[in-house]
Amino acid sequence: MSKQLDFSGRVAIVTGGGTGIGYATALQLAKLGARVAIASRTASELEAAAARIAEDSGSECLAVPTDVKSEDAVINMVRRTVDGFGRVDVLINNAGGTRMGPLETIPTKGWDSIYDLNVRSAYLCTREAGRHMMAQRSGAIVNISSNAGMTGVKGGAHYSSAKAALQMFTTVTAAEWGRYGIRCNCVAAGMIASPRAVEAWKAAGLDPNGMASAIPLKRPGTPEEIANMIVFFASDAASYITGQTVAVNGGPSLSGIPLE
């Protein structure tokens, strides 16, 4: 198993890699031997994250400031990665997010923005990194979805449908590109206590324990727990798994009789 989790000689791109799930994933990949390029919009935050990853892992980490909603920026991100590291073996489409609101108040611009961030960006990154993967006839892509894409969430019609679209994009990518030796899978994250999420909960006066009461494991997850699944999907340990979406969410919340 240790050999199957060895990323030595491989190159990974992680979008949204400066914080939260993306940072945890990039750090794990680097510790397992990968050279990693991390991307997000905030250059100072990204460069600091890359320096920490390199120091903690001993692997090279390249910071590539990128707005993943911009086609030209994504093309540049992949080009800089290949110029710096020579190849692309792993792509983690982690960048995403939303602003919640009732369906009737979501403006067209807001709807389009959420689709651009959560779906279009993954398409652009997959297309550009995929060119190199197809040429080398190998690669692993992991898309990061959400429980919202599986069950929906009120106040997030745009986000829920965008994440559901990302899951279907995963399925079709796997079906079309399997012949090139490329695998594509998806992780649907549940309630995760990332630093930014915790700040948002505090600002809104929300109690994480109360919000997690319906989760069987009775707590939010951590970015590292999501990263564990992402890294597994990207590794040789998942060599015969493709086109799948797996929920990492602390278990199913079911209705029924009260249990002591």
Q: What is the pLDDT of residues 41-78, one digit of tens each?
A: 999 999 999 999 999 999 999 999 999 999 999 999 99
Specify the pLDDT at position 257. Answer: 80
- CB-based burial of residue 172 (10 Å sphere; 0-12 exposed, 13-18 middle, 19+ buried)? exposed
From edge to edge, which strands make up the β-sheet containing 90-93? 61-63, 35-39, 11-15, 90-93, 139-146, 182-189, 245-248
- pLDDT for position 116: 97
Angle at 69 between CA 220 and CA 38, to 5 degrees: 60
Residue 213 located in a structural domain: no
pLDDT of residue 222 exceeding 70: yes
CB contact set of 255 (below 8 Å; sequence gap of 6+): none
Percentage of the chain beyond pLDDT 90 is 86
Residue 34 lies in a domain: yes
Tell me, yes or no, whether 23 lies in a domain.
yes
**Is residue 6 in a domain?**
no
Which amino acid, one-letter code, is at 203? Answer: A
Question: What pLDDT shows up at residue 109?
Answer: 96
pLDDT at 201 (0 to 100): 83
Domain count, the chain: 1
- Which one-letter amino acid corresponds to residue 186? C
pLDDT at 168 over 90: yes
Nearby residues of 175 by Cβ (< 8 Å), 6 or more positions away? 243
> Which residue in the block uniquely carries the two structure tokens 């989760």?
215
- Identify whether 198 is part of a domain: no
Q: Considering the domain boundaries, does residue 2 fall inside one?
A: no
Flag whether pLDDT at 239 surpasses 80. Answer: yes
Residue 174 sits in a domain whose CATH number is 3.40.50.720
Which of 210, 198, 191 shows the shortest CA–CA distance to 248? 191
Residue 228, domain extent = 11-190+220-247
Active site residues: 159
Reduced to 3 states (helix: H, G, I; strand: E, B; else coil), residue 52 is: helix
Q: Is residue 3 one of the residues assigned to a domain? A: no
Q: According to the model, what pLDDT value does residue 1 have? A: 62
Q: What is the pTM of this model?
A: 0.96
- In a domain? residue 108: yes
- On the question of pLDDT at 2 being above 90, the answer is no
- What pLDDT was estimated at residue 195? 87
